[in-house]
Amino acid sequence: MSAHPEYKFFDAVSASFDKAARFTHWDPGILEQIKQCNSVYRMHFPVKVGDKVEVIKAYRVQHSHHKTPCKGGIRFATAVNLDEVMALAALMTYKCAIVNVPFGGAKGGINIDPKKYTIYELEKITRRYTHELIKKNFIGPGTDVPAPDYGTGEREMSWILDTYTSMKPGEVDALGCVTGKPVSQGGVRGRREATGLGVFYGIREICNTQEIMDRMGLKPGVEGKRVIVQGLGNVGYHAAKFFREGGAIVTAIAEFEGAIYNPDGLNEEEVFQHRKKEGTILNFPGATNILHSPEALELECDILIPAALENVINAENAPRVKARIVGEAANGPLTPEADDVFIKKGILVVPDMYLNAGGVTVSYFEWLKNLSHVRYGRMEKRFTENQNITILSQLESLTGKQVSNRDRRLITQGADEIDIVYSGLEETMIGATREILESWKSHPEIPDMRTAAYVVAINKVATSYAELGIFP
């Protein structure tokens, strides 16, 4: 634990780390080195807003340099503070390790309410922040690569890219200085939905694991499972979409202003459009209003997906949660006290640092694309198609049978960028789920899946330090 009274979130992450470290055999020095934030950069800079000068407070924390570049999003929110950015940077290290993304963890944040500024002002703030990062070598394709997070998106990433490239003319890999960019600016197809899709792949793998479903008395598979999603931002929206498309029933969606409930299922796109038009999620046709939004977390369901901010489920409300599985799409939505309550209640918590790793996984694919300067599929798509057409026509002439036009298309088509990204993400999430479950199984004394995930992460980061030769 740190002695600092304000490092609550970072301390919670450290506490989870310590809980897991007991199941490993690493030297205490290595463990301590892994836990600490390697570099912390806090900055203040002035920005002219209207006719006043505003002093903006911002951060970038590089939690671990055991692999470089460092990687992690940048959030814009009034809740941003050093403790939060440190904790989220640490989670990034463990997250990357679990899904075998070869980066150290980082996180950035600007303490603003983005809704209070014009687009022009936001651009000025983002560009100035990027300048500050450049000045201290806290950004670059080989040093530290930001990405979207709460309150930021493709637009902000293009401003960062443009600021960086204008300051570093001729740097051949400059496109890789930030990920989550629009496709026209070197982004990769599939990045936007990646976190939500990763959440779906991860939970689907859990639901397909017979042993776990038997233990929980649930039917295997995602189909027919009742899902509640808290937060209809990028992550929540896409998680809801993929669950619905996968045959689950999204019975409730919660936002700040309230929540809506319909046992027959909600369509996230219709809800999104309704909210855009009406300015509120409430009064959605056919659904029941829940005026006090947090109550939605306490409704009967199979899978609860908190996809907004940290600490939404805590000692106070955890005892009333009725879900069987809680999938942490957000970072840190459960406090350690909530974890303890759920262990006692037999609720399976699928932890954030692995479940929401889809975003950084596809960021990794984007970074690789930027460094290779070629779109996925460009070199091999046509070759694969020609080869498949030849194989199919040989089979047809040998058997005397013809496949339907629909099947012909499916069999012959070569992979596009989106196919490669989706399959890479699916493989990553399934692989990570199995690895964590294996680690859990081999240490039955590990109390929960979060601890099992930390054990996997600690072992990987510690191995990497040990093999660097830093520690004998």
Cβ proximity of 62 and 106 under 8 Å: yes
Residue 149 found at the interface with ligand GLU (CB under 6 A): yes
Residue 72 found at the interface with ligand GLU (CB under 6 A): yes
Identify which of residues 158 and 356 has a Cβ nearer to ligand GLU in the complex. 356
Using CB under 6 A, pick the residue from 71, 181, 226, 241 that binds ligand GLU. Answer: 71
Q: Taking Cα atoms as reference points, which of 198, 72, 146, 409 lies closest to residue 190? A: 198
Identify which of residues 72 and 284 has a Cβ nearer to ligand GLU in the complex. 72
Using CB under 6 A, pick the residue from 130, 262, 331, 335 that binds ligand GLU. Answer: 331
Query: Cβ of residue 107: shortest distance to ligand GLU, in angstroms?
Result: 7
Identify which of residues 149 and 435 has a Cβ nearer to ligand GLU in the complex. 149
φ, ψ for residue 23, nearest 5 deg: -95, 10
Identify which of residues 66 and 274 has a Cβ nearer to ligand GLU in the complex. 66
Please identify which of the residues 107, 181, 225, 241 carries the catalytic annotation.
107
Residue 352 found at the interface with ligand GLU (CB under 6 A): no
Query: Cβ of residue 331: shortest distance to ligand GLU, in angstroms?
Result: 6
Indicate the burial class of 192 (C-beta count within 10 angstroms; 0-12, 13-18, 19 or more): buried
Decide the pairing of beta strands 249-255 and 144-148. unpaired
Query: Cβ of residue 190: shortest distance to ligand GLU, in angstroms?
Result: 12
Q: Using CA atoms, how far apart are residues 175 and 165, in angstroms rounded to an integer?
A: 8
Q: Taking Cα atoms as reference points, which of 217, 219, 220, 237 lies closest to residue 229? A: 237
Query: Cβ of residue 72: shortest distance to ligand GLU, in angstroms?
Result: 5
Identify which of residues 192 and 226 has a Cβ nearer to ligand GLU in the complex. 192
Output the DSSP codes for 389-442: HHHHHHHHHHH-----HHHHHHHHPPPPHHHHHHHHHHHHHHHHHHHHHHHHHH
Q: Using CA atoms, how far apart are residues 246 and 240, in angstroms rounded to an integer?
A: 10
The 356-375 site mask, x for binding ligand GLU (CB under 6 A), equals x--xx--x------------
Q: Using CA atoms, how far apart are residues 129 and 144, in angstroms rounded to an integer?
A: 14
Residue 353 found at the interface with ligand GLU (CB under 6 A): no
Dihedral angle of Cα 215, 221, 227, 231, to the nearest 10 degrees:
110
277 is catalytic: no
The 182-221 site mask, x for binding ligand GLU (CB under 6 A), equals ----------------------------------------
- Active-site positions read 107
> Rule CB under 6 A: which residues touch ligand GLU?
71-73, 147, 149, 179-180, 331, 356, 359-360, 363
